[in-house]
Amino acid sequence: MKKVFLFLGLSIFTIQLWAQTTWSADPMHSSINFTIKHMGISFVAGKFDQFQGTLQAAKADFTDARIQFTVQTSSVNTGVAPRDKHLKTADFFDVEQFPEMKFVSTGFKKKAGNKYQLSGNLTIKDVTKPVVLEATYGGRTKNQMGKEVIGFQTAFRINRFDYHIPFDPTGTAVAKDVDVTIFLELQPQQ
């Protein structure tokens, strides 16, 4: 009898694994953007051009989703080459020592309608901190090639000093708070 229950348990677990879908971020239709206040009067905008992300879920409402994201820090792009070069130094991202930023989810809860609460660990440089983000599900459709795609977006704020980004410790010229906006279009992995 124990063997029957063990077999049934393993069968159910295996079926759940097979039903799971892994969605990958489409870099042509996704973006990781940031803005930071400069000199207390204006804002500098930028983005990261190279990143990989996956969302794994078996449930249609994504409440069992596991999300992992990696960003190449050397791909920082503000449209101004000298500034981008400075952002790659130890004053900011120190890309030689810390080539990646990472996010790994610890929970994804549906709130109401298309709103979710995404919990996880954000690693920038040598610091990993828990974060709680609000995410909006944009929906599911088929793209022009007939592939199924889904969309999510989130916006949040971090204190750069929490992640050992030390430039201008007064926050006068370059503010301490960084606003991040992420737009994701994901498609099933082949």
DSSP assignment letter at 26: -
Q: pTM for this one?
A: 0.85
For residue 42, report the phi and psi dihedrals to the nearest 5 degrees: -145, -175
pLDDT tens digits along 70-109: 999 999 999 999 999 999 999 999 999 999 999 999 999 9
DSSP 143-184: -TTS-EEEEEEEEEEEEGGGGT--SSTT-SSEEEEEEEEEEE
pLDDT tens digits along 142-180: 988 888 999 999 999 999 999 999 999 999 999 999 999
Q: Which domains does the chain have, with CATH numbers?
A: 21-188 (2.40.128.110)
Length of the chain: 190
